Amino acid sequence: MKAALMAQKFAVAGRLVTVESTGFGNVNDTYLAVFRTTFSEERFILQRINRRVFPHPEYIMENMRVLTDHVHARLEDEAAMSDRIWQLPRVIPAKDGQDFAIDAEGDFWRAISHIASAHSYERVQSIEHAHEAGFVLGHFQRVISDLSPERLGDTLVGFHITPGYLEKLDKALASPDGQARLKSSAEAERCCHFVNARREWCAVLERAKDRGELRLRPIHGDPKIANIMIDDATGKGTCIVDLDTVKPGLIHYDFGDCLRSCCNPAGEETQDLGRVMFDTDLCEVIVKGYMAHARDFLTGEDRTYLYDSIRLIAFELGLRFFADYIAGDVYFKTRYEGQNLNRARVQLKLTESIETRESIIRKLLDKY
């Protein structure tokens, strides 16, 4: 098996015992590898990076190095004052000293340390879990707030630039196949109408950036609930994983992504559209947890756009899934026909729910 072969390229003591597929990532393939010696065991996360999405996987590893070196030093400095042990995975080098190994097909594999005695969940489990998600994101953004964004490369050009995803949709719609997929279902047509009605608004964060109201900072890029690790023993957040999309961006992308993910208890993959809604009670505790750290670095202008970021990132993900469905599922991995359309419908329904609750959300954002 390819993963077993690649696991052995990394600098880990002992002999490989198992390597099993793990996680539900939409882009990369992820495995948990277990190595044993006579008296110890080491587990690590092995990943094959999707080259269709990341044309230069080596740049991701450079960003990951810069970021983890910075954060590990900060966590050590703050350890004595902290209410918990914060963690962050480290890159495990290959035996040849590089940060990755390349297989016979030219695919990139990398290994990162496994966070023991902690788990992540695909959906929010409780109000306490939601609070921890906000707290972990705020903490992460705070400890990277003094890292200069110029030190990070742009590993995924156009990521979270919403108008760019509209262009992708338009391109896909211009092809006969795209038109056929659009016309093949009333749901697809409804998604298209929903998106079209928000074309003008969806540049809201990019315009604020161009006007100089919002500035680039280092971001995580993908702080969904499934990337927040919760300590099995204490129920507290212990770290944020999946550092592939760490790059310069707007912190609003992270804030919006965390909320759109955590406040939909039905999860991204539900087929029961009736259950999709934006839960404002969950939103309140996430904001409270986030602000415990973020009030140190948020500016007044940052705060002006927090509501828009929640609405926008839900909308943007719906648009991304929809555009990928129309383009023939070329970006996100799918397990069944029409999965990207279903994912799009979930996020667009969530967007609608956010819009209906605008005044409640704005009020609770002002409270913290």
- Closer to Mg ion by CB, 181 or 252: give it: 252
In the DSSP assignment, the letter for residue 93 is: P
- Closer to ligand GN1 by CB, 50 or 238: give it: 50
Q: DSSP string covering 156-203, please?
A: STTTT-HHHHHHHHHHHHTSHHHHHHHHT-HHHHHHHHHHHTTTTGGG
- Closer to Mg ion by CB, 284 or 316: give it: 316
What number of chain residues touch Mg ion (CB under 5 A)?
2
Q: Give the one residue of 29, 99, 132, 268 binding ligand GN1; rule: CB under 6 A.
A: 268
Tokens coding 122:
């695909």
25 binds ligand GN1 (CB under 6 A): yes
Site for Mg ion in 202-231 (CB under 5 A): 222
Q: Give the one residue of 251, 317, 326, 341 binding ligand GN1; rule: CB under 6 A.
A: 317
26 binds ligand GN1 (CB under 6 A): yes
CB 364 within 8 A of CB 354: no
CB 309 within 8 A of CB 255: yes
302 binds Mg ion (CB under 5 A): no
Q: How far is the CB of 268 from ligand GN1 (least distance, A)?
A: 5
Q: Give the one residue of 99, 242, 254, 316 binding Mg ion; rule: CB under 5 A.
A: 242
Beta bridge partners of 30: 47
Q: Which does 254 bind (CB under 5 to 8 A by kind): Mg ion, ligand GN1, none?
A: none
162 binds ligand GN1 (CB under 6 A): no
Residue 168 CA, chain-centre distance (Å), reads 20
Residue whose Cβ sits closest to ligand GN1: 27
27 binds ligand GN1 (CB under 6 A): yes
User: How far is the C-alpha of 234 from the C-alpha of 210, rounded, in Å?
Assistant: 43
Query: By C-alpha distance, which of 354, 321, 355, 353 is closest to 339?
Result: 321
270 binds ligand GN1 (CB under 6 A): no
Residues 6+ apart with CB under 8 A from 144: 67, 70, 71, 217, 218
- Closer to ligand GN1 by CB, 35 or 321: give it: 321
- Closer to ligand GN1 by CB, 12 or 30: give it: 30
User: How far is the C-alpha of 332 from the C-alpha of 301, rounded, in Å?
Assistant: 34
Q: Is 345 helix (H, G, I), strand (E, B) or coil?
A: helix
- Binding stretches for Mg ion (CB under 5 A): 222, 242
- Binding stretches for ligand GN1 (CB under 6 A): 25-27, 53, 222, 224, 242, 245, 268, 317
